[in-house]
A and B are shown apart, each in its own frame.
Chain A
Amino acid sequence: MEPFRNEPVLELRRAPVRAALNDALQAVNSTLPLSVPVRVGDDSRAGDALVSTDPGAPERVIARSAVATPGEVDAALEAARTAAPGWRDRPVTERADVLLRAAARLREDRLKIAALAVRETAKPWPEADADVCEAIDFLEYYARGAIALQEGAELLQMPGERNDLRWAGRGVVAVISPWNFPVAIPCGMVAAGLATGNSVVLKPAEQAPGCASVLVDALRDAGVPPGVLGFLPGEGDVGAALVADPRVHTIAFTGSGAVGLEILRTAAEVRDGQKHLKRVIAEMGGKNSVIVDADADLDEVVPALVKSAFGYAGQKCSAAARVLVHEAVHDGLVERLAGAVEVLQVGQASDLESDVPPVIEREAQERVQRYVAEAERSGRIAARAAPVPEHGWFASPSVAVDLPPDSAVLAEEIFGPLLAIERVGSMEAACDRVDASPYGLTGGLFARNPDTVDYVVGRSPVGNLYVNREITGAMVGRQPFGGNRLSGTGTKAGGPGYLMQFVEPRVVTENTIRHGLVV
């Protein structure tokens, strides 16, 4: 097998590459609304209890989805439980081949799948494309990782005994995925489970059932047996039922902190008939800070902050929410950043000229507005992009300054296009503030003195620290991604250790002496 390499994103700086996007969008438009069924084993039931819409044009229906009933949840888990041993016992190379075929399917249809993400989640083209590429990367990376894992690990061997360490799939994985990386994140969690010989039941985000459905199609078509991958679109109650069920061994969740903590609590309880401890992989929220030292090059800082804070309207767990800037360059940075934010174009995700798309739903729009109002009341809005389209869930990218240290704007995850700037007297003070936060997902540092970089690296609690660059855009295999503290369970998606969460170790020691003869 070829060594892993990241799927190249589209080279959108070339006009012919850009020209293909519109065709893909038209092709997808003609298929809307998608019908998204519940899929349990060989059964498939369409419905329209759940509807996803275009955040930039909420009257446009993207997908009509069935919602899994308690009976279907039960049936899916029963199918998964029954199918798991057979899947686990298939040679790892066969499972890996299935994932690689699924990757090939996504690659073939990548423009159309990205177009669907543009429509259903208002993900701008470059990022929607990157999302599909990341999904492909997860399939390719975990397929290789599972093969490597099958080799086991070296143990100390003595004459007369043979020691063998192997890992095996734990059983049934329940995947609960978010809408903001509507293909990549469900794909990563599902692929990790499948590659290691687990069966999987996927509950996608209610905002993006269409994207997840396309992923399930690709995996099923590539040869994942029906019982091994169930698909249960629905709301929170479907996820809650999965988490509580004794047939589930592993829960892979990406989403809000509140839901994540609830999952951890529920999963800790051992139910009647449950013969194992559940393991939870939770990727939760963040409040990510970028530290800017006095020697930073503002020419680089400003574009990197704009990208980190306002790319996809700030709706990435890795997005920048706070800037802790040295007082010597504070005013200059605020002025330049304000000017850079004022020229941002807020518009439809399908328009390459838009810098900032709408947020996902009305509730998100209102949440951002609440925090902006709070920032205006207790501090000052230094800049905002205008005008913002009235129709659709648009929120104006804004920069807040002069906030009191106890402001909610500085502490709570907003998940929208609002960036707060704070003045600090030193790098020590900046690190103290980062350290005071209960979150630990991503962070950034702009500094050029190697001693400063060493100091901040040493004190940084976050899972992913980016030095002198934007803080979003982690790549599979290059920047294994995941948070510490209350941001997550410390696992690293797209990294070398990730698959370990989905397996259990089994050591076999065989006595090889018989009547004094070593056999």
Chain B
Amino acid sequence: MDERALEQEIFAVGSRLAASLPSQARHPLKALDTKAMDLASSDAELKAALFRFVDVVPACRSLDDLARHLTGFLGELEAAPPPVSAAMKMGNSRAGRRALGMASATGVKHMAHRFIVGEDPEAALGVLRGLWKEGVASSVDLLGEATVTQAEADRYAERCARALDALSRAASGWPERPQLEADPQGRLARANLSVKVSALTPLLRAEAPERGKRDAAGRLRELLRHAHRVGAHLHIDMESMDSRDAVLELVLELLSEPEFREGPSAGMVLQAYLRDSPHSLDTILQWRRRGPGAEREHPLTVRLVKGAYWDHEVVDAQQHGWTVPVFEVKADCDRNFEGLTRRLVDAQREGGVRVAIASHNLRSVSHALAYNRLTGGKDTDIELQILRGLGDPLQEALAAHGMRVRAYCPVGDLVAGMAYLVRRLLENTSNDSFLQEQARGAAVEKLLAPPGHEPAAPLGEPAGTI
């Protein structure tokens, strides 16, 4: 690869996309009409206080209880900005607490709705249809509480099955959108559901993965059958390092089973923030090319993400004295993302694998498109994925340019969605994130510079994660 030509192409693709971003969207944080988020981004203590509040909202039993929590968190701040002092004052009276509770509950709900498309799949159908009409496909993720019992695992599997039904039924009535419905390797399902293995079993243990795998396999197998029956795509998400190997093995083992040779369409996730992710890709490609996966007629979709559990992985490893499994410098992670992108684009061209680039980072997305072009591909060969609420403007720009884009759309109530929401907010306000940089109005040249060509900074939270 002629790297200079590639950089030129990246710049060409990227600046065209940047020019199509609505000007308001150059500042995605401005879209959050809660002043709190702006404040939070500049004040780490306040950010922690607000996040702890957002996190506890669903567990509060009354407006009064809400206000007491809010003032409890804000009361720990060393120096309170004026809006905080005002809130603290309101906390002194019953009526004030009621008003404060009401205002904060509304604020949090509003925030949640930015990232979460509905309480259940039925409620989300309108949004999904709207996206489709604008040229954006979707993948639905059912948010839920942690699974600690068999009954909870059953309930989650049932919700997934019902979602597959609802999505495929509704999607059959959607208008035709040819660039979303096929790629060089064949047809693409309209209905697309992302599932989590940790929700399919209460038995997943890091030090004894087999038992959890066996238990999850039963439910996941049923979901694969169900997806096949209704013609939907089933995507298995990755979570933390504790379950990484189990999920990878489970997915490859199940998809090797003869009954799934002809479908359903299925996929998995590769997390570029993991130092050993190139090795995981070896495993996947080996399986597909020369292993049991070679028998499979349906391509395997690999969604490339940076990874959403960065803080958890770092803290967990440090507390145990282990080598940190993720890149600790943002540029290293970005470079690895680009390396994996190239390997996946190459693999897709050979067939049997589909690549989905999931990122809100203009550079990462432009790099994938440019590399694909320079190696002889068309833009629509590649699927681009965007998280609902985080990369909406980029998603619109991509769709406007006729790219094949899919929005990852979480569905669930506020209780279930809170952990997800907090992760997204963290990402949105992280100082090192692409979104922050974009919001600060960084020049396109800077946004599109190769990884490491900006001053090296520790990775706060990788931008563009799923």
CB of B60 within 8 A of CB of A450, answer no
Check A13 for interface membership: any CB of B closer than 8 A: yes
CB of B145 within 8 A of CB of A299, answer yes
CB of B321 within 8 A of CB of A12, answer no
Q: Encode B76-103 as 1/0 by CB contact (under 8 A) with A.
A: 1000000000000000000000000000
CB of A352 within 8 A of CB of B59, answer no
CB of A126 within 8 A of CB of B207, answer yes
CA distance in complex: A11, B322 (Å)? 7
Check A48 for interface membership: any CB of B closer than 8 A: no
Q: Encode A327-341 as 1/0 by CB contact (under 8 A) with B.
A: 010000000101110
Q: Encode A97-132 as 1/0 by CB contact (under 8 A) with B.
A: 000000000000000000000000000011000000
Check B462 for interface membership: any CB of A closer than 8 A: no
Q: How far is the CB of A398 from chain B (nearest CB, A)?
A: 16
Q: How far is the CB of A301 from chain B (nearest CB, A)?
A: 10
Check A2 for interface membership: any CB of B closer than 8 A: no
CB of B56 within 8 A of CB of A299, answer no
CB of B73 within 8 A of CB of A295, answer no
CB of B202 within 8 A of CB of A297, answer no
Residues of B within 8 A of A336 (CB): 148-149, 152
Check B32 for interface membership: any CB of A closer than 8 A: no
CB of A339 within 8 A of CB of B148, answer yes
CA distance in complex: A306, B149 (Å)? 12
CB of A340 within 8 A of CB of B149, answer yes
Residues of A within 8 A of B145 (CB): 298-299
CB of B69 within 8 A of CB of A8, answer no
CB of A13 within 8 A of CB of B207, answer yes
Check A366 for interface membership: any CB of B closer than 8 A: no
Check A264 for interface membership: any CB of B closer than 8 A: no
CB of B245 within 8 A of CB of A448, answer no
Check B426 for interface membership: any CB of A closer than 8 A: no
In A1-29, the 8 Å CB interface with B consists of 5-9, 11-15, 18
A449 in contact with B72 given A12-B207, A342-B150, A343-B149 (CB within 8 Å) = yes
Q: Encode B143-156 as 1/0 by CB contact (under 8 A) with A.
A: 00110111110000
Check B320 for interface membership: any CB of A closer than 8 A: yes
Check A296 for interface membership: any CB of B closer than 8 A: yes
Q: How far is the CB of B429 from chain A (nearest CB, A)?
A: 20
* Count of chain B residues with a beta carbon within 8 Å of a chain A beta carbon: 35
CA distance in complex: A336, B145 (Å)? 11
Closest to A8 in B: B321
Residues of B within 8 A of A306 (CB): 148
CB of A6 within 8 A of CB of B59, answer no
Q: How far is the CB of A425 from chain B (nearest CB, A)?
A: 14
Residues of A within 8 A of B61 (CB): 294, 328
Query: Which of B75, B149, B206, B210 meets A13, CB within 8 Å?
Result: B206
CA distance in complex: A328, B149 (Å)? 21
CA distance in complex: A296, B61 (Å)? 12
CA distance in complex: A13, B207 (Å)? 5
CA distance in complex: A14, B208 (Å)? 10
Q: How far is the CB of A451 from chain B (nearest CB, A)?
A: 5
CA distance in complex: A18, B321 (Å)? 17
A296 in contact with B59 given A339-B202, A450-B75 (CB within 8 Å) = yes
Check A63 for interface membership: any CB of B closer than 8 A: no
CA distance in complex: A450, B151 (Å)? 33
Residues of B within 8 A of A328 (CB): 61
Check A82 for interface membership: any CB of B closer than 8 A: no
* Count of chain A residues with a beta carbon within 8 Å of a chain B beta carbon: 38
Check B445 for interface membership: any CB of A closer than 8 A: no
In A307-342, the 8 Å CB interface with B consists of 328, 336, 338-340, 342
Query: Which of B55, B148, B203, B320 meets A8, CB within 8 Å?
Result: B320
Check A302 for interface membership: any CB of B closer than 8 A: yes
Query: Which of A7, A14, A126, A295 meets B56, CB within 8 Å?
Result: A295
Check B349 for interface membership: any CB of A closer than 8 A: no
CA distance in complex: A451, B75 (Å)? 9
Residues of A within 8 A of B72 (CB): 449-452
Residues of B within 8 A of A448 (CB): 52, 55-56, 59, 69
Q: Encode B186-211 as 1/0 by CB contact (under 8 A) with A.
A: 00000000000000001101111011
Check B40 for interface membership: any CB of A closer than 8 A: no
Residues of A within 8 A of B69 (CB): 295, 448-449
Residues of A within 8 A of B320 (CB): 8-9, 11
Q: How far is the CB of A123 from chain B (nearest CB, A)?
A: 14
CB of B210 within 8 A of CB of A353, answer yes
CB of B245 within 8 A of CB of A449, answer no
Check A303 for interface membership: any CB of B closer than 8 A: yes
A18 in contact with B207 given A328-B61, A336-B148 (CB within 8 Å) = yes
CA distance in complex: A5, B52 (Å)? 30
CB of A339 within 8 A of CB of B150, answer yes
CA distance in complex: A306, B65 (Å)? 29
Q: How far is the CB of B307 from chain A (nearest CB, A)?
A: 16
CA distance in complex: A297, B58 (Å)? 10
A295 in contact with B59 given A343-B150, A451-B72 (CB within 8 Å) = yes
Residues of A within 8 A of B52 (CB): 448
Q: Encode B327-367 as 1/0 by CB contact (under 8 A) with A.
A: 00000000000000000000000000000000000000000
CB of A451 within 8 A of CB of B149, answer no
Q: How far is the CB of A149 from chain B (nearest CB, A)?
A: 26
A353 in contact with B208 given A15-B245, A339-B202 (CB within 8 Å) = yes
Check B242 for interface membership: any CB of A closer than 8 A: yes
CB of A353 within 8 A of CB of B211, answer yes
Closest to B52 in A: A448
CA distance in complex: A339, B147 (Å)? 10
Q: Encode B135-174 as 1/0 by CB contact (under 8 A) with A.
A: 0000000000110111110000000000000000000000
A7 in contact with B202 given A15-B245, A343-B149, A352-B208 (CB within 8 Å) = no
Q: How far is the CB of B211 from chain A (nearest CB, A)?
A: 5
Check A345 for interface membership: any CB of B closer than 8 A: yes
Residues of A within 8 A of B76 (CB): 450
Closest to A452 in B: B72
Query: Which of B148, B242, B321 meets A5, CB within 8 Å?
Result: B321
Residues of A within 8 A of B207 (CB): 12-13, 18, 125-126, 352
CA distance in complex: A39, B73 (Å)? 59
CA distance in complex: A9, B76 (Å)? 35
CB of A303 within 8 A of CB of B75, answer no
CA distance in complex: A15, B244 (Å)? 11
Residues of A within 8 A of B59 (CB): 294-297, 448
CB of B148 within 8 A of CB of A340, answer yes
Residues of B within 8 A of A296 (CB): 59
CB of B149 within 8 A of CB of A449, answer no
Check B388 for interface membership: any CB of A closer than 8 A: no
Check B68 for interface membership: any CB of A closer than 8 A: yes
CA distance in complex: A452, B207 (Å)? 35
Residues of A within 8 A of B56 (CB): 295, 448-449
Residues of A within 8 A of B131 (CB): none
A339 in contact with B151 given A13-B245, A18-B207, A295-B56 (CB within 8 Å) = yes
CB of B68 within 8 A of CB of A451, answer yes
Which of A5, A6, A13, A355 has the largest count of B CB atoms less than 10 A from its CB?
A13
Check B241 for interface membership: any CB of A closer than 8 A: yes
Q: How far is the CB of A19 from chain B (nearest CB, A)?
A: 12
Residues of A within 8 A of B202 (CB): 339-340, 343
Residues of B within 8 A of A345 (CB): 211
CA distance in complex: A303, B204 (Å)? 12
Residues of B within 8 A of A18 (CB): 207
Closest to B59 in A: A295
Query: Which of A15, A303, A451 meets B148, CB within 8 Å?
Result: A303
Please give me the 3 A-B residue pairs with the lowest Cβ-Cβ distance, nearest first. Answer: A339-B149, A8-B321, A12-B207
Please name 4 further chain A to chain B contacts, defined as beta carbons within 8 Å, in addition to the given A295-B59, A297-B55, A343-B202, sorted by A numbering.
A8-B322, A14-B245, A18-B207, A298-B145
6 contacts between A and B (CB under 8 A): A294-B61, A295-B69, A303-B146, A352-B207, A353-B205, A450-B73
B: residues with CB less than 8 A from A are 52, 55-56, 59-61, 65, 68-69, 72-73, 75-76, 145-146, 148-152, 202-203, 205-208, 210-211, 241-242, 245, 320-322, 419
